[in-house]
Chains A and B, each alone.
Chain A
Amino acid sequence: MALIEAIEITKTYRLGEIEVNALSSVSLAIEKGEFIAIMGPSGSGKSTFMNILGCLDRPTSGRYMLEGIDVARMERDELATIRNKKIGFVFQGFNLLSRTSALENVELPMLYDGVAAKERRQYAAEALATVGLGGRERHHPNQLSGGQQQRVAIARAMVNKAPIILADEPTGNLDTKTSEEIMELFVRLNGESHITVILVTHERDIAEYSKRRIYFRDGVVVSDESAGGHRA
């Protein structure tokens, strides 16, 4: 059984009188432990696809099987639970809570999972240590560099032991050297913890870290190729 199975997913937006197909009958399967880059020009439907994979949005039609369960028709709160337990998000703009310490940012998913305060703190500290930020628990986002902020976000994405990390342009706001460090962190998590990493990027050298690249154009998958991956 595939970890993720998208079956003829279509997403239609209404812009006034006109209906726009952001995704037209996209089908693909992702196995556990894959490292995937989703690529394509803007307007190709890759972001829409990411949002559906991340359970932030629901397809207009089609089925989305996550660990064998169809989540396409789930209610808002059921999707929230899926996001909490199965999916970690890493965004281009980090999306950390400002005026909140790194530790508390990482604790956030556990907060909504009903984990007791003491365990929350312990697991969050461990996750921060894993991404190389041990000793910076008390720092606030504005006291951290971009690369460090993105590491906090990655710690937050993995702290609930989610099997999937969705990273939307995670290096878009970072310089080349920091980008490489962040990508190596993803590679490590993928290799050591067998976390499935799904990356959205338009940068070819970033995509080269992946083992499989999927190209979107005009709402359809135009190519899906496996590669050596894990550059470096």
Chain B
Amino acid sequence: MINIPSIVSISFRALRVNKMRSALTMLGIVIGVGAVIAMIAVGTAASNKISEFISSIGSNILMVLPGATSAGGVRMGAGTQSTLTLNDADAVEKECPAVARVAPVLSGVAQVVYGSQNWSTGITGTTPDMFIAREWKIDSGRVFTDQEVRSAAKVCLLGQTVVDNLFGALDPVGQVIRIKNVPFMVVGVLEAKGQDPGGHDQDDAVYVPVTTAQKKLFGTAFPGMIRIMYVQARELADMSAAERQITDLLKQRHHIGPHQENDFTVRNITQILQAREQSANMMTILLGAIASVSLLVGGIGIMNIMLVSVTERTREIGIRMAVGAKTWDIRLQFIIESLILSLIGGIAGIVVGVSSSELLSALAGWDTIISPFAIILAFGFSGLVGMFFGFYPAYKASLLDPIEALRYE
């Protein structure tokens, strides 16, 4: 049996004879592998962004928004009516067994001033439960306490973006800022969370106790009013139970009869986001599959060229058989030739795929994530393509009759 290094050098020689042809055949694989890598890079980035947001929002999260989808014949968006109160939030936390914690939210936009710097940002009034539910850690300082919520203390937590804009390199903890001209003491800085999938900067925010927000910042005619209830269920399996319990409780508290429309909406955020993540994953698979088709076409190109090559080299095959080449010596020679084509094409394809992903993010501003998995997958697949489409021509070559082959002109 012939040794593999010898076959490899024979194959390289054969491919060098028809440089142009070999290069064009490889191009099919280059494009295929490159497309698979670039497409998966785009898709992975999209679904990663969503899963990052899911973890940033916390696990098992439900949102309760005031307002129904329609009121008095006029269809209203959820959250357009302020019908939720702090008491509702307390009741949900105490009376719904499937609920672990509730963070009420009352938010608005205001100008924040420190020294000569000012920054307009979202002010969120909430309770410490918010940071537990969202697993949001503190970078420095501390979270405001339940006691500070009860006493409506003028303390606040800053997001990174706000710190960057107001304080620059200074340590904000212990400093006093003014929100709507009310002085607030900065007690802590939140860890950076980045953007949500909508491109909204989650770090561009100031958090204050919900009671302080109601009394000092966004006081309204309706006492105790809040904008959103942020609810964390005990387990993922408790999500629908929590949804049902909250609906029943709020219906009772708001005196809504069986045939009346609810004046609030419960949204299963985790479910919505997971569905979105699933569809993003689906999209990645779809993009990869479409790109794989071009890899397949590249493979057919290899087979085509290998068949031509076998025919052209019939006499060479005859000579090799006459001097003692066995069936598998001939087969291996052509399979390795096709494998070399596809693997070199695969390596070039990785380069093309990686650089085109980089180019996409640099020029078009798309996020791309090149996963080693995609590279291994595409490279391995190109090897399989080479082997698969090389086999038939190799098989044909090995079945030639040596006498006929030697006579071939």
B322:A111 contact, CB within 8 angstroms: no
Question: Of residues 1 to 58 in B, which have CB atoms within 8 Å of A's CB atoms?
Answer: 1-3, 5-6, 13, 17
Residues of chain A from 48 to 82 with CB closer than 8 A to chain B in the complex: 51, 54, 56-57, 76-77, 80-81
Within 8 A of A (CB), among B237-253: none
A222 at the interface (CB under 8 A from B): no
Please state if A112 and B327 are interface contacts (CB–CB under 8 Å).
no
B402 sits at the interface (CB 8 A): yes
Complex formed: what's the CA distance from A135 to B46 in Å?
Answer: 66
Give the distance in Å from the alpha carbon of A156 to the alpha carbon of B329 in the complex. Answer: 19
Q: Give, as a whole number of angstroms, the nearest-CB distance from A22 to chain B.
A: 12
Q: Contacts A97-B316, A99-B17, A117-B6; is A77 near B406 (CB within 8 Å)?
A: no
Instruction: Determine whether the beta carbon of B403 is less than 8 Å from that of A56.
Output: yes
A183 shortest CB reach to chain B, Å: 22
Most buried by A among B2, B316, B322, B323: B323
Encoded as 1 (CB less than 8 Å from any B CB) or 0, chain A from 196 to 210 comes to 000000000000000
Once the chains bind, are B324 and A112 in contact (CB under 8 Å)? yes
B402 touches A84 (CB 8 A): no
> What's the least CB distance linking B9 to chain A, in Å?
9
Closest CB of chain B to A156's CB: distance in Å? 7
Given the known A-B contacts A112-B2, A112-B329, are A84 and B403 also in contact in the complex, defined by CB atoms under 8 Å? no
B321 touches A80 (CB 8 A): yes
Q: Does A114 contact B (CB under 8 A)?
A: yes
The answer to the question of B319 belonging to the interface, with a C-beta cut-off of 8 Å to chain A, is yes
Across-interface contacts of B5 in A (CB, < 8 A): 117
B320 within 8 A of A: yes
Q: Which of B173-194 contact A (CB under 8 A)?
A: none
Residues of B within 8 A of A76 (CB): 326-327
Quick check: B13 and A109 within 8 Å, CB to CB? no
**Interface footprint category on B:** 20 to 34
Q: Is A95 touching B326 in the complex (CB atoms < 8 A)?
A: no
Q: How far is the CB of B185 from chain A (nearest CB, A)?
A: 81
- Is there a chain A Cβ closer than 8 Å to B325's Cβ? yes
Q: Mark B327-340, 1 if CB is under 8 A from A, else 0.
A: 10100000000000
Among A169-218, those with CB < 8 Å from B are none
In the bound complex, do residue A85 and residue B319 qualify as a contact, i.e. CB atoms below 8 Å apart?
Answer: no
Cβ B322 vs Cβ A77 within 8 A: no
- Docked Cα-Cα span, A100 to B313, in Å, equals 14
Contacts of A117 in B (CB 8 A): 5-6
Q: CB-CB < 8 A to B1: which residues of A?
A: 114
B315, CB-defined interface residue at 8 Å: yes
CB neighbours (8 Å) of A112 from chain B are 2, 320, 323-326, 329
Known contacts A100-B13, A117-B6, A51 near B403 by CB under 8 Å: yes
Which of B2, B323, B406 has a CB less than 8 Å from the CB of A156? Answer: B323
Q: How far is the CB of B312 from chain A (nearest CB, A)?
A: 11
Distance between Cα atoms of A95 and B320 in the complex (Å): 10
A91–B403 Cα distance when bound, in Å, is: 12
Q: Are A57 and B322 in contact (CB under 8 A)?
A: no
Q: Collect the chain A residues with CB atoms within 8 Å of residue B3's CB.
A: 114
Residues of A within 8 Å of B325, CB to CB, are 80, 112
Interface residues in B354-402 (C-beta closer than 8 Å to A): 402
- Kindly provide the distance from the CB of B6 to the nearest chain A CB, expressed in whole angstroms: 6
| A residues near B324, Cβ cutoff 8 Å | 80-81, 83-85, 109, 112-113, 160
Interface centre among A77, A81, A117, A160 (most CB of B within 10 A): A77
> Within 8 Å of chain B (Cβ to Cβ): is A89?
yes
Q: What distance in Å separates the Cβ of A122 from its nearest Cβ neighbour in chain B? A: 16
| Residues B320 and A56 in contact, CB atoms below 8 Å apart | no
A160 to B402, CA, bound (A): 20
Q: Are A80 and B316 in contact (CB under 8 A)?
A: no
The 8 Å CB contact of A77, one of B318, B323, B327, is B327
Assembled-state Cα–Cα distance A100/B1 (Å) = 21
By beta carbon, the residue of chain A nearest B325 is A112
Asked if B403 and A57 make an inter-chain contact with CB atoms under 8 angstroms apart, the answer reads yes
Chain B residues within an 8 Å CB radius of A83 = 321-324
Bound Cα distance from A89 to B321, whole angstroms: 11
Q: Let me know if A108 is at the binding interface, CB within 8 A.
A: yes
The answer to whether A56 touches B402, judged by C-beta atoms less than 8 angstroms apart, is yes
Q: Are the C-beta atoms of A114 and B2 separated by less than 8 Å?
A: yes
Q: How far is the CB of B408 from chain A (nearest CB, A)?
A: 11
B260 vs chain A, min Cβ distance (A): 87
Say how far A198's CB is from chain B's closest CB, in angstroms. Answer: 15
A13 to chain B, nearest CB (A): 12
What 6 A-B pairs come out closest when comparing CB atoms? A84-B324, A112-B324, A109-B323, A77-B326, A80-B326, A56-B402
User: Interface of B with A (CB < 8 Å)?
Assistant: 1-3, 5-6, 13, 17, 315-316, 318-327, 329, 402-403, 406
List 7 additional contacts besides A56-B402, A81-B326, A89-B322; criterion CB under 8 Å. A80-B325, A83-B322, A95-B319, A111-B2, A112-B320, A114-B1, A114-B2
Residues of A within 8 A of B (CB): 51, 54, 56-57, 76-77, 80-81, 83-85, 89, 91, 95-97, 99-100, 108-109, 111-114, 117, 156, 160
A-B CB contact pairs (8 Å), 18 listed: A51-B403, A54-B322, A56-B406, A76-B327, A77-B326, A80-B321, A80-B324, A80-B327, A84-B324, A96-B319, A97-B319, A99-B17, A108-B320, A108-B323, A112-B325, A112-B329, A117-B6, A160-B324
